[in-house]
Amino acid sequence: MARDRHQLLVDTLRRFVRRGADTHLGRVLEKTRSEDLAQALAELPPREGRIIFSKMLEDPQRAAEVVSGYHLPSLAGLFEGLEVGQLSPVFAELSSDDAADILTELPDALSEAILGELEDEESDGLEELMQFGDDTAGGIMSTEVFALSRELTAREAIVALQESVDAEMVFYMYCINDEGHLVGVLSLRQLLTVPPATQLRDVMVSDVISVPITMDQEDVAALVARYDLLAIPVVDEFNKLLGIITVDDVIDVLRDEATEDMMLMAGLGDENIVQRTTFSAIRTRVPWLFAGVVGLMGAAALIRAFEAKIEAVAALAAFIPVVVGLSGNVGVQSSTLVVRGIAMGHIDVRAVGSTVWGEVKIVGGIAVLCGGLVCGISYFVGGNNLMLAVAVTHALFMSMLVAAVVGTSVPLIAERLGIDPALATGPILTTTIDLVGVLIYFVVATFWLGL
Amino acid sequence: MARDRHQLLVDTLRRFVRRGADTHLGRVLEKTRSEDLAQALAELPPREGRIIFSKMLEDPQRAAEVVSGYHLPSLAGLFEGLEVGQLSPVFAELSSDDAADILTELPDALSEAILGELEDEESDGLEELMQFGDDTAGGIMSTEVFALSRELTAREAIVALQESVDAEMVFYMYCINDEGHLVGVLSLRQLLTVPPATQLRDVMVSDVISVPITMDQEDVAALVARYDLLAIPVVDEFNKLLGIITVDDVIDVLRDEATEDMMLMAGLGDENIVQRTTFSAIRTRVPWLFAGVVGLMGAAALIRAFEAKIEAVAALAAFIPVVVGLSGNVGVQSSTLVVRGIAMGHIDVRAVGSTVWGEVKIVGGIAVLCGGLVCGISYFVGGNNLMLAVAVTHALFMSMLVAAVVGTSVPLIAERLGIDPALATGPILTTTIDLVGVLIYFVVATFWLGL
């Protein structure tokens, strides 16, 4: 929905709520898609959002759609003042993965009250789902999976499909044996193209791609992307079918993981990109900058330690940012390539040596080219001091290579240690390179200028 | 496929090719998924990859699957030495979006020869597809869309589906009127749940989400993600149905766009993250660093212009990296939030003023907190010079605010001017902030230290 059409929707809803124009409001709600309504409600003042949402409760199916599209951490605000009895029908309509995510996010008392209102079977399932780690296959799967015994015929399968109401977006049918183990898959379309009396076991594909319930969500997403799947079944250690992860959830995972990597690399922590308050944004970002302050003050102390050299050759001070800045750029390039390469599955994490060596060759070439330019310009900027130009160039060359090695190896090693590689890079890496760059610069300059 | 299983596949293929163990090789090829084979072939030495691929040509359907999964820019190498007559059956099996992408990438002579071998209808369609911009809906759509007249009954529709062979991943059926205009959609599952004699027009949903053929692929992907679609139809300006974009292509777009943004922000240009040679990597990265050299040499010249101040207060030099480095960090934070926020659709691009103001408030708070720490530490590091500490703190505060304004507004303005916001940030932004930071630092220091 284009931004201006969206703004129009927000304004219209607001106007009708203020006027109490219930009939008009009802008509707008009816003809607007749930996803658009969810976003509009989130942008309205909380009280007005709640008025509209409480009207939608008459149709729990619709309310559930809006709730699924709503910004998760703000849902508690939308639910404020509502009775548990009004909310539980909505939760009964939600797909189990969404319901579990939301219940985890709500205040404990409310979440328990809602679970208490649901049917036992449903609440047991949800409580089980809530146990799984947020970032695992179990945490993002839905338990409403459409599975049939492989002994059924195509005709029976079609009837079963016609009678099913709850299953999430059916396009694959999973076949199970008597023990509930996943033994095959077939597409809805295949089902239509075989004679009605055919047993599923004779047409199903038995080589099913499935994931264990503990698998990291990033790995699940990579599999779905790699094999162009619309859904992937989740199994336990005995290959018993437990749930399904659909491609729309995978898209969310891919987008969120890319966002998270970018945030971490920019020193933004896990800042929520939407609806942050000024205060919470400051709180998330300050620690990274404090770390930067400490590192850069280390660099300052280092420069002060070499102050006698600057007093001897005043122009030395001018080139600190050149050496430090360019090495920082190289370090960011190297680490970005590695972090994204790991996320996309292009980099073999075990091959630290060859990855670092590949990058060192590239940065070596870059350093030679940049070195030529830097030598020429710094000769003039430095007041025709050839030895100074040589020192700057030499320091830059070394410092760039160090940046390449550090920028490549740190995220690789982090990944192998089970630390998020994006977390291990970012501002901390840049500050480290700053410190090393300053040290190299003065040591090299001392040598060439005979200080 | 886990990395070690993958390595095993590569090693096995290689061993069998070298030994000429055709029967074994054939068996491995048969039981391996096409996506895994595609990746393995790309990792084998070119000659060996070609030997295996030429064996697969006996089964054009299978060869087409491997080709779709292969790294696009390297395909010409895989095709080397093959006859056009061997390749054209493979192209006949490819989905039209993949075929058009590949033909665009191949040398003109080869691509024309292949088009010449295909049936007229097919080659005309492909040539048309090749006209569309790579980054538009037309560039990523497939023309094999399953569309039916809305006058058909459910029973007739099922028969039509059973007889169709070419259509891409069918799960929605699009309904058209006599003029070929898109008028409705229904899911395969709905089709099964209505009485066989029902006309499609009576059960279809007529409010279809579709995209114009010229729409940017990022916007298409955003729509598919927003409404959790499995496919989205592409129409011309008269709403005539032209093609379909499936969710697997959308996933590729989302991943590629995130990668591209990260590459641009790190000053890696549009460097291809996979299979780059040392030389091509140097060529892509050097221009950005040259720009950095020029900017940082500007900063060096600026520092030299203030050399008399450093000679008066030697410790002044030590805090240049503190001011410049921390402002750079803030600039990266601000621009990353905006670039990603635009990509995710969270930021209203027209609201430049309020977005900048929101960020200035946050960075103002951050600057006060960092300023306290910086003032304290720099007092000691600077040799108990209170005025110096005040100058550093004051300069940092101003420079951080400038970084916030520049970091937020530049990508926003770029987006409004139709320039990729990620391109407008990255190293160019950091270097600008470096220059401004140095200038602010010396002007402020001159004031406080009475130089």
> Which residues in A lie closer than 8 A to residue B259 (C-beta atoms)?
340, 344
**For B303, left (φ over 0), alpha (ψ -120 to 50), or beta?**
alpha
Mutate to test the interface with A, among B277, B297, B324, B442 (most CBs of A within 10 A): B297
Residue B276: pLDDT band (50, 70, 90) is low
The answer on pLDDT for A275 being more than 70 is no
The answer on pLDDT for A379 being more than 70 is yes
Contact A344 B188 (CB under 8 A): no
Of B158, B282, B350, the CB nearest to A366: B282
pLDDT at B275: 56
Mutate to test the interface with A, among B3, B319, B329 (most CBs of A within 10 A): B329
Residue range B105-133, pLDDT digits in tens: 888 888 899 998 888 888 888 888 888 88
> Which residues in B lie closer than 8 A to residue A162 (C-beta atoms)?
192-193
The answer on pLDDT for A131 being more than 90 is no
ipTM of the complex: 0.85
pLDDT at B81: 85
Contact B297 A162 (CB under 8 A): no
Of A162, A262, A362, the CB nearest to B336: A262
Contact B373 A251 (CB under 8 A): no
Least confident of A248-262, A404-418, B266-280: B266-280
Fold of A3-131: MgtE N-terminal fold (1.25.60)
Instruction: For residue A348, give Cα distances in angstroms to A23, A201, A329, A356, B73.
Output: 61, 38, 24, 12, 21
Contact A319 B325 (CB under 8 A): no
Mutate to test the interface with B, among A43, A66, A189, A271 (most CBs of B within 10 A): A189
- Mean pLDDT within B192-219: 91
Choice between B42 and B442, residue whose per-residue pLDDT is larger: B442
Instruction: Give bridge partners of residue B212 from the DSSP assignment.
Output: B235
> Rg for chain B (alpha carbons), in Å?
29
Q: Report DSSP state, residue B212.
A: E
Mutate to test the interface with B, among A203, A296, A324, A384 (most CBs of B within 10 A): A296
Least confident of A73-77, A200-204, A296-300, B92-96: A73-77
Provide the 10 A C-beta neighbour count for residue A137: 26
The answer on pLDDT for B39 being more than 70 is yes
The answer on pLDDT for A2 being more than 80 is no
> Which residues in A lie closer than 8 A to residue B171 (C-beta atoms)?
171, 188, 230
Q: Could you give the 3-state DSSP secondary structure of residue B4?
A: helix
Distance from CA of B292 to the nearest CA of A (A): 7
Contact B273 A300 (CB under 8 A): no
Span A147-256 CATH architecture: Roll (3.10)
The answer on pLDDT for B336 being more than 60 is yes
**For the whole model, what pTM was predicted?**
0.86
Mutate to test the interface with B, among A293, A368, A378, A392 (most CBs of B within 10 A): A293
Contact B286 A158 (CB under 8 A): no
Span A278-449 CATH architecture: Orthogonal Bundle (1.10)
| Closest residue on chain A to B332 (Cα) | A266
Contact B289 A330 (CB under 8 A): yes
Q: Which residues, 6 or more positions from A27, have their beta carbon under 8 angstroms from its beta carbon? A: none
> Which residues in A lie closer than 8 A to residue B9 (C-beta atoms)?
none
> Rg for chain A (alpha carbons), in Å?
29
pLDDT at B387: 94
> Which residues in A lie closer than 8 A to residue B192 (C-beta atoms)?
158, 161-162, 188, 192
Provide the 10 A C-beta neighbour count for residue A294: 12
Distance from CA of A434 to the nearest CA of B (A): 8
Instruction: For residue B401, give Cα distances in angstroms to A273, A303, A427.
Output: 20, 26, 18
Short-list A82, A27, A83, A90, CA closest to A49: A82
Residue range A390-448, pLDDT digits in tens: 999 999 999 999 999 999 999 999 999 988 898 888 878 888 999 999 999 999 999 99
Of how many residues is chain B composed?
451
Instruction: Give bridge partners of residue A172 from the DSSP assignment.
Output: A187
Residue range A139-173, pLDDT digits in tens: 899 888 888 999 999 999 988 888 876 665 567 88
- Count A/B contacts: CB-CB distance under 8 Å: 305
> Which residues in B lie closer than 8 A to residue A326 (C-beta atoms)?
289, 292-293, 296
Contact A322 B301 (CB under 8 A): no
pLDDT at A215: 94
Distance between alpha carbon A89 and the CA centroid of its chain, in Å?
31
Least confident of A241-250, A334-343, A389-398, B277-286: B277-286
> Which residues in B lie closer than 8 A to residue A292 (C-beta atoms)?
325-326, 329
pLDDT at A20: 87
The amino acid present at A229, given as its one-letter code, is L
The answer on pLDDT for B1 being more than 90 is no
Contact A333 B251 (CB under 8 A): no
Domain boundaries defined on chain B: 3-131, 147-258, 278-449
Distance from CA of A206 to the nearest CA of B (A): 12
pLDDT at A3: 66
Class of domain B147-258: alpha beta
Mutate to test the interface with A, among B262, B357, B379 (most CBs of A within 10 A): B262
> Which residues in B lie closer than 8 A to residue A225 (C-beta atoms)?
248, 251-252, 255
pLDDT at A300: 94
> Which residues in B lie closer than 8 A to residue A349 (C-beta atoms)?
3
Greatest mean pLDDT among A103-107, A121-125, B382-386, B398-402: B398-402
> Which residues in B lie closer than 8 A to residue A440 (C-beta atoms)?
none
> Which residues in B lie closer than 8 A to residue A211 (C-beta atoms)?
none
| Residue carrying structure tokens 């660093």 | B289
Q: Measured between alpha carbons, how far is A269 from B329 in angstroms, rounded to an integer?
A: 13
Of B35, B192, B337, the CB nearest to A158: B192
- For every residue of chain A, which 3-state class applies, written as one string? CCHHHHHHHHHHHHHHHHHCCHHHHHHHHHHCCHHHHHHHHHHCCHHHHHHHHHHHCCCHHHHHHHHHHCCHHHHHHHHCCCCHHHHHHHHHHCCHHHHHHHHHHCCHHHHHHHHHHCCHHHHHHHHHHHHCCCCEHHHHCECCCCEEECCCEHHHHHHHHHHCCCCCCCCEEEEECCCCEEEEEEEHHHHHHCCCCCEHHHHCECCCCCEECCCEHHHHHHHHHHCCCCEEEEECCCCEEEEEEEHHHHHHHHHHHHHHHHHHHCCCCCCCCCCCCHHHHHHHHHHHHHHHHHHHHHHHHHHHHCHHHHHHCHHHHHHHHHHHHHHHHHHHHHHHHHHHHHHCCCCCCCCHHHHHHHHHHHHHHHHHHHHHHHHHHHHHHCCCCHHHHHHHHHHHHHHHHHHHHHHHHHHHHHHHCCCCHHHHCHHHHHHHHHHHHHHHHHHHHHHHHCC
